[in-house]
Amino acid sequence: AQTVTQSQPEMSVQEAETVTLSCTYDTSESDYYLFWYKQPPSRQMILVIRQEAYKQQNATENRFSVNFQKAAKSFSLKISDSQLGDAAMYFCAFIQGAQKLVFGQGTRLTINP
Amino acid sequence: GAVVSQHPSWVICKSGTSVKIECRSLDFQATTMFWYRQFPKQSLMLMATSNEGSKATYEQGVEKDKFLINHASLTLSTLTVTSAHPEDSSFYICSASTQGFYSPLHFGNGTRLTVT
């Protein structure tokens, strides 16, 4: 079974600085997608960024970028120029085949002004 | 972008009663919808996969007789919590996907269920 592990229950960063959230996963498949979702206090799940496993190039969305290491099964999220609105729970997620998203445990990110 | 509407956003019901939660894809057809449960400060746990026109597929440990899922059309899936008990109190979230594998899932805003 696929598993997703986020080893950092909580992280904090000063506003305007950079923070990296870690995620590792386990799968025997070669074709899959990885996602980072943000869940603010409203609890709405918001897609932050996604990465196709067959692409070597790391995905980037404005201030958000990933470091995808397929051999190491690692998928970290880097948030640059952190803003107060980035404060939320961040979930790493894996999907393969039947579109069943498997979520990590989540990392609560606090932005210090 | 694709919008998923979930209703109600919160509901309080008495123990022993049933409550229905609706999940609608507003501007796209969703052949597959997913139902998740989230306890406070925890991750989302998949409860079941709902396929239009067929029976839902439940994850291990989820009581199919307690959590009834119906996906009668390409835009609507419902989750009915039957004979609710306080331990069923939780946050329930649905998601839906557009056609094709690996398309991003779109989430509803969730339903907070409190059983008294």
Q: How many CB atoms lie within 10 A of CB B37?
A: 20
> CB distance B104–A52 less than 8 Å?
no
pLDDT for B102 equals 57
Count of residues making up chain A: 113
Cα–Cα distance measured from residue A86 to residue A39, given in angstroms and rounded to the nearest whole number = 10
Residues of B with CB under 8 A from a CB of A: 32, 34, 38, 42-46, 49, 91, 93, 95, 97, 101-105, 107, 109-110
The Cα B11–Cα B21 span in angstroms is 9
3-state secondary structure of B103: coil
pLDDT of B9 strictly over 60: yes
Q: What is the pLDDT of residues A27-47, one digit of tens each?
A: 888 888 999 999 999 999 999
Amino acid identity, residue A77?
A: L
- Of the candidates B105, B106, B93, B77, the one whose C-alpha atom is nearest the C-alpha of residue B37 is B93
Q: Token pair 């306080």 is at which residue?
A: B86
> Tell me, what amino acid is at A10?
E
Contacts of B106 (CB under 8 A, 6+ apart): B1, B2, B3, B4, B25, B95, B96, B97, B98
Contact B44 A100 (CB under 8 A): no
Nearest by CB: B46 against A33, A52, A100: A100
pLDDT-derived band at A7 (thresholds 50, 70, 90) equals very high
Q: pLDDT tens across B39-82, in order? A: 988 999 999 998 888 889 999 999 999 999 998 888 999 999 99
In chain B, whose CA is at the least distance from the CA of A51? B102
pLDDT of A4 above 80: yes
Amino acid identity of residue B93, one-letter, is: I
Least CB-CB distance to B107: which of A33, A44, A102? A44
Please check the confidence at residue A10 and state whether its pLDDT lies above 60: yes
Number of other CB atoms surrounding residue A93 within 10 Å: 23
Phi-psi region of B26 (alpha: psi -120 to 50; beta: other; left: phi over 0): alpha
Q: What is the pLDDT of residues A48-63, one digit of tens each?
A: 999 999 998 999 999 9
Model confidence at B1, in pLDDT bands (50, 70, 90)? Answer: low
Which two three-digit tokens encode residue B71?
Answer: 């996906």
Is the confidence at residue B103, as pLDDT, over 80?
no
DSSP-assigned beta bridge partners for residue A67: A76
> Residue A104's closest CA among B72, B2, B92, B42?
B42
A35 contacts B49? CB cut-off 8 A: no
Tokens 């139902």 identify what position? B35
8-state DSSP, A1: -
